[in-house]
A and B are shown apart, each in its own frame.
Chain A
Amino acid sequence: MSLRLGGAVALAAAYLAFTAVPAFAGPTLDAVKSKGQLTCGVNTGLPGFSSPDSQGKWTGLDVDICKAVAAVILNDTNKIRYTPLSAQQRLTALQSGEIDLLVRNTTWSLTRDAQGLDYAPVVYYDGQGLMVPKSLGVTSAKQLDGATICVQPGTTTELNLADWFRAHNLSFKPVVIEALDELNAAFFAGRCDVLTTDISGLAGVRASVATKPDDFIILPEVMSKEPLAPVVRHGDNQWRDIVSWTIYALIEAEEKGITQANVDAKLKDVDPSVQRLLGVQGDLGTGLGVDKAWAYRAIKAVGNYGEIFERNIGKKTPLKLDRGLNALWTNGGLMYAPPVR
């Protein structure tokens, strides 16, 4: 919200002004170890990706990635401090060192990558979509000339929206509200004809906020590529390696059939690639700056990528999302881990 954002920006400015140079030039890994805590920037509340439940416990696909990283480094998924961030706060919070890792359905783009940030591998391939009430009688985005559209400010979504309408020579009126709750409330109150964000987000909002989810449809047009990936600060290569390979390990685990339930049994597996991944053979963790059981701990904590997907956003959840692009490369998707060796 505005006050928090103002605070974050002012803090960032103050941080840049007051901090002596070596403050976070040092490896993030050392800082996290000495704090004994991983500070993860997450969404303020996006069902399926990161949202607190009624007991205040965070769940979701993004949250599970945080937990996997915490398991690798600290061997404890409870030693995480979740910092809920709005779309506008998130990058500044990471740049200024307020958080160690940003896992907040953030789109990987050149401008952002060049802004002093680095991206870990994509954890969810998404695209931007448009949701409308069925009663509007619209079946294609091309019929939306003159529509009022609710959108979060400071997102790639906001830019894609303007691009798409410009490209199709249509007009629209944006209503931009930073706080997600307020934005969703405005859409469901009928202030806007259309709500736009990533399709996964629309599915989440429809499942959790709408009183009658069946009254809303997501239009067929996919307006953009939205590869959602965790973000780290530019320049700390070791930290980026740890986050990246934690994600690759989860994908590799799915490919090798290692699950949260059978990971202990798999320690005795004869397949050398499984032995290397779980640290039975060799010492792959040392190269990353962690120990050899790193991937074992991550899988033990949250399961493989497929399990994380199905648990949070898959067919059995209210979001009912298909694997689609997020299936393993062996099943025609884009999830592909480089060799873990």
Chain B
Amino acid sequence: MSDSNVTVTKAAAPPGQAAFHLSINNPVVRAILAQLGVALAVALVAWYLVGNTMDNLARLSIASGFGFLDREAGFQIGETLIEFGPQDHYSTAFLVGILNTLKVSGIGILLATLLGVVLGIARLSSNWLVARIAAFYVETVRNVPLLLQLFLWYGLLTEGLPGPRQALSPLPGIFLSNRGLKLPAPADDPIWAWVAALFGLGVILTLVITAWNAKRQAATGKRLSMLPIGLGLILGLPLSVLLASGGGAIDMPVLQGFNFRGGMTLSPEFAALLFGLVIYTAAFIGEIVRSGILAVPKGQTEAATALGLTRGQVLRLVVLPQALRVIIPPTTSQFLNLTKNSSLAVAIGYPDFVSIANTTINQTGQAVEGVLAIMAAYLVISLSLSFLMNWYNSRVALVER
């Protein structure tokens, strides 16, 4: 059989009914063989690496496996979102670490986005001073390594602030010292659960009314002003209940011995890491926002202005929604960067997942398992974030008719 023969057969046969020749000259067979070959090579390399690792571990008498997760951790962690003590297991310590990573990344992403949008808009401002300040900020911050910035923030917070006994107290119950920011916290009182529930209800009601309002405007052209309605529902409702019940019990921080007891703490480690991540990432997001806004044709702004919209409305209703299509994909990368950069926490003592996993590796000697756990955790967090952002991107993407 000649090559030309095959080509002819393939070209002549109707789709899906190509005569199948089991021959090395058949491009289909060749493609399958090539793929099998590649898959086999990958599997062989993986088999070699895993096998060799196991051999080496066994020879070095290093136990392998994740059995250590059920052992008592024995160390204490400074900041935890859930209860943790030295008697808890390594698995709980890992969970504490993952939650701490999520806490700093979550809040960091939110604040970096807000600051980034402000920066992007400020760089395009017609006010010369505002535009220059924003440009100076971006060029300085994004060109200094993040680790150095973290050291700077941590140094400022620990060296610059007074000790707990000389703490600054701008308002009663609020103390600022090198042990962190101490704030009054809601004490154990059922009224706070009601307040939280009403706050949630207010948010949901506001969202529903906003959607209804948008529909109504599309149909009739009339629209309600949402600001007072939203404020009333989200803040007014819970506050009025709180006031009506005579206020809830509050856990005030007090100086006892040589430290503050009670209240909430914003630790210097967390604050330094959060400041560092937000300020660094916002510089990049600012540039992305700027590029997104510049990508919207000038005619759109002119047309919107011609319709009589104010400058704020032009930005909010016309420019930003179109700019989002350009902004979302690169911003997703920045969110992922921020999450991964949070692992620099080790350097300034914030107990994030990498810090706790490193301690675990050192206490147990299970380096391979520890590194696998770190990789798996970041992979899951990053892929979830990507998935979420891709979904959002597909929603705001240009729908062409």
Which of B201-209, B223-231, B253-261, B330-338 sits within the interface? B253-261
Enumerate chain B residues within 8 angstroms of A174, measured Cβ to Cβ: 75-78
Cβ of A10 within 8 Å of any chain B Cβ, yes or no, is yes
B57 lies within 8 A of A16 (CB)? yes
A115 lies within 8 A of B163 (CB)? no
**How many angstroms from the CA of A183 to the CA of B158 in the assembled complex?**
11
Known: A92-B361, A148-B179, A176-B351. A2 touches B344 (CB 8 A): yes
Known: A25-B59, A158-B75. A182 touches B362 (CB 8 A): no
Enumerate chain B residues within 8 angstroms of A177, measured Cβ to Cβ: 347-349
Enumerate chain A residues within 8 angstroms of B75, measured Cβ to Cβ: 153, 158-159, 162, 174
Interface string of B56-73 (1 = CB under 8 A from A): 110111100000000000
Interface string of A77-104 (1 = CB under 8 A from B): 0000000000110011001000000000
Interface string of A152-173 (1 = CB under 8 A from B): 0111001101110110000011
**How many angstroms from the CA of A144 to the CA of B52 in the assembled complex?**
49
Q: Distance in Å from the Cβ of B175 to the closest Cβ of chain A?
A: 14
A91 lies within 8 A of B371 (CB)? no
Q: Distance in Å from the Cβ of A159 to the closest Cβ of chain B?
A: 5
A91 lies within 8 A of B62 (CB)? no
A153 lies within 8 A of B359 (CB)? yes
Q: Distance in Å from the Cβ of A336 to the closest Cβ of chain B?
A: 29
Known: A116-B61, A163-B86. A12 touches B367 (CB 8 A): yes
Cβ of A217 within 8 Å of any chain B Cβ, yes or no, is no
Which of A36-44, A121-129, A186-194, A304-312 sits within the interface? A186-194
Chain B residue nearest to A10 (CB atoms) is B371
Enumerate chain A residues within 8 angstroms of B355, measured Cβ to Cβ: 153, 176, 178
Cβ of B188 within 8 Å of any chain A Cβ, yes or no, is no
Enumerate chain A residues within 8 angstroms of B50, measured Cβ to Cβ: 17
Known: A17-B53, A19-B56. A153 touches B347 (CB 8 A): no
Cβ of B365 within 8 Å of any chain A Cβ, yes or no, is yes
Enumerate chain B residues within 8 angstroms of A209, measured Cβ to Cβ: none
**How many angstroms from the CA of A5 to the CA of B361 in the assembled complex?**
11
B53 lies within 8 A of A16 (CB)? yes
A146 lies within 8 A of B261 (CB)? yes
Cβ of B130 within 8 Å of any chain A Cβ, yes or no, is no
Q: Distance in Å from the Cβ of B77 to the closest Cβ of chain A?
A: 7
Cβ of B384 within 8 Å of any chain A Cβ, yes or no, is no
Say which residue of A21, A158, A175, A235 sits within 8 Å of B269 (CB atoms): A175
Which of B75, B151, B158, B365 has most chain A Cβ within 10 Å? B75
Known: A18-B49, A186-B158. A163 touches B74 (CB 8 A): yes
Cβ of A13 within 8 Å of any chain B Cβ, yes or no, is yes
**How many angstroms from the CA of A5 to the CA of B345 in the assembled complex?**
13
Cβ of B159 within 8 Å of any chain A Cβ, yes or no, is yes
B76 lies within 8 A of A162 (CB)? yes
Cβ of B276 within 8 Å of any chain A Cβ, yes or no, is no
**How many angstroms from the CA of A164 to the CA of B154 in the assembled complex?**
29
Chain B residue nearest to A116 (CB atoms) is B60
Enumerate chain B residues within 8 angstroms of A211, measured Cβ to Cβ: none
Chain A residue nearest to B358 (CB atoms) is A88
Cβ of A315 within 8 Å of any chain B Cβ, yes or no, is no
A9 lies within 8 A of B74 (CB)? no
**How many angstroms from the CA of A3 to the CA of B358 in the assembled complex?**
12
Enumerate chain A residues within 8 angstroms of B377, measured Cβ to Cβ: none
**How many angstroms from the CA of A182 to the CA of B345 in the assembled complex?**
13
Enumerate chain B residues within 8 angstroms of A148, measured Cβ to Cβ: 179, 259
Query: Count of B residues near A, CB < 8 Å?
Result: 56
**How many angstroms from the CA of A235 to the CA of B359 in the assembled complex?**
26
Enumerate chain B residues within 8 angstroms of A234, measured Cβ to Cβ: 60-61
Cβ of A222 within 8 Å of any chain B Cβ, yes or no, is no
Known: A17-B52, A174-B76. A186 touches B349 (CB 8 A): yes
Which of B158, B343, B344 has most chain A Cβ within 10 Å? B158
Cβ of B354 within 8 Å of any chain A Cβ, yes or no, is yes
Say which residue of A165, A173, A233 sits within 8 Å of B60 (CB atoms): A233
Cβ of A136 within 8 Å of any chain B Cβ, yes or no, is yes
Query: Count of A residues near B, CB < 8 Å?
Result: 61
Which of A10, A146, A185, A191 has most chain B Cβ within 10 Å? A191
B363 lies within 8 A of A159 (CB)? yes
A114 lies within 8 A of B61 (CB)? yes
**How many angstroms from the CA of A3 to the CA of B347 in the assembled complex?**
9
Cβ of B178 within 8 Å of any chain A Cβ, yes or no, is yes
Interface string of B232-271 (1 = CB under 8 A from A): 0000000000000000000000001111010000001100
**How many angstroms from the CA of A19 to the CA of B59 in the assembled complex?**
12
A115 lies within 8 A of B158 (CB)? no
A191 lies within 8 A of B158 (CB)? yes
Q: Distance in Å from the Cβ of A156 to the closest Cβ of chain B?
A: 9
Enumerate chain B residues within 8 angstroms of A95, measured Cβ to Cβ: 60, 62, 365, 367
Enumerate chain A residues within 8 angstroms of B343, measured Cβ to Cβ: 2, 6
Interface residues of B in 262-284 (CB under 8 A from A): 268-269
Enumerate chain B residues within 8 angstroms of A145, measured Cβ to Cβ: 257
A88 lies within 8 A of B362 (CB)? yes
Q: Distance in Å from the Cβ of B182 to the closest Cβ of chain A?
A: 13
Cβ of A270 within 8 Å of any chain B Cβ, yes or no, is no
Known: A17-B49, A21-B59, A173-B78. A91 touches B259 (CB 8 A): no
Cβ of A20 within 8 Å of any chain B Cβ, yes or no, is yes
Enumerate chain A residues within 8 angstroms of B362, measured Cβ to Cβ: 87-88, 91-92, 153-155
Known: A116-B60, A116-B62, A182-B348. A189 touches B358 (CB 8 A): no
Cβ of A225 within 8 Å of any chain B Cβ, yes or no, is no
A146 lies within 8 A of B347 (CB)? no
**How many angstroms from the CA of A16 to the CA of B358 in the assembled complex?**
18
A162 lies within 8 A of B86 (CB)? yes
A147 lies within 8 A of B259 (CB)? yes
Chain B residue nearest to A173 (CB atoms) is B78
B178 lies within 8 A of A189 (CB)? yes
List the 8 closest A-B pairs by CB distance, nearest first.
A154-B362, A162-B86, A2-B346, A115-B365, A116-B60, A177-B349, A189-B158, A191-B158
Known: A18-B49, A153-B359, A177-B349. 20 other contacts (CB 8 A): A1-B347, A2-B147, A2-B354, A3-B147, A5-B358, A16-B57, A16-B367, A19-B52, A88-B361, A91-B362, A146-B261, A147-B258, A153-B75, A153-B355, A159-B86, A162-B76, A177-B348, A178-B355, A182-B151, A235-B59
List, sorted by A's number, 26 A–B pairs whose CB atoms are closer than 8 Å: A2-B344, A2-B354, A5-B346, A13-B367, A21-B55, A91-B362, A92-B362, A92-B367, A95-B62, A114-B61, A115-B365, A136-B258, A146-B257, A153-B358, A153-B359, A159-B74, A162-B86, A165-B76, A166-B87, A173-B78, A174-B78, A176-B359, A182-B151, A185-B159, A186-B158, A189-B155
